[in-house]
Amino acid sequence: MNERFTLPAHSPALAALVPEFLDLARAASGDPAAEERDLAVWENLTEHVSLDYRFANPPVHGPGDWDTYDSRFVDPAGVEIGTLQGTGRILYERSSDAHLMMYYREQLTFPDGTAQTAGWVDGTAILGGAWQRFPILGSGGRYGSMIGLRSFQPTPEAPHSLYRTHLVLREIPGGHGLTDPEEIDAALSLLGAFVGPSVNPATGNGRLEPPVRAGRTA
């Protein structure tokens, strides 16, 4: 055999993230007193979202729409624990069910460090109030050696400006070691496969043709 099947050089570093991410999730459902690593957990945050949304064909949501937004995370005691800058775009409609598939990128800023997310959102599900989840990769300060999970759900009373949000980040011994933008992208894709929606599942007829609904925005 030969080197043509060799994977990218950063693959071992990416692979090492997987058990860490799963262990984090297990720890998050267990006893925090047993935790020996630096851990940041914020639950039941109120996320105040200031959204700048651009319709391609108003007023109907569809491919071509994109947005930027600024969020403030406020804990149940009313304390602002951090902020977020994000951007997203509706990229396409899934072949099987015409769900609107969105891609997001976010920068998180805390008083003591920074982090980032990227990932897919099922835009049809989120408009219906479903929880969405992104992996988090720490980028600086206390969070520079951490990975984590961001979960958020639009509130029924203000789906575009108020989310219910959980954040958890946990230290990886020795840090995640990822600094190159391509490596960071690959890591977020990898971990997103555990918590994100299916990007284009099989259709009933076995063909990935555009959904009928896609004609709407043509």
List binders of a second copy among 114-143 (CB under 8 A).
Answer: 118, 120
Q: Among residues 112, 34, 51, which one has the least CA distance to residue 87?
A: 51
Give me the least distance between CB of 2 and a second copy, in Å please: 6
Contact status: 95 vs a second copy (CB under 8 A):
yes
Which residues in the 172-191 window bind a second copy by CB under 8 A? 181-182, 185-187, 189-190
Which residues in the 6-35 window bind a second copy by CB under 8 A? 6-8, 11-12, 14-15, 18-19, 21-22, 24-25, 27-30, 32
Contact status: 105 vs a second copy (CB under 8 A):
yes
Give the residue with the Cβ less far from a second copy, 101 or 146. 101
Give the residue with the Cβ less far from a second copy, 21 or 143. 21
Count Cβ atoms within 10 A of the Cβ of residue 158 and give its class: 0-12 exposed, 13-18 middle, 19 or more buried: exposed
Q: Using CB under 8 A, which of 55, 72, 75, 87 touches a second copy?
A: 87
Q: Using CB under 8 A, which of 55, 64, 109, 162 touches a second copy?
A: 64
Give me the least distance between CB of 32 and a second copy, in Å please: 5
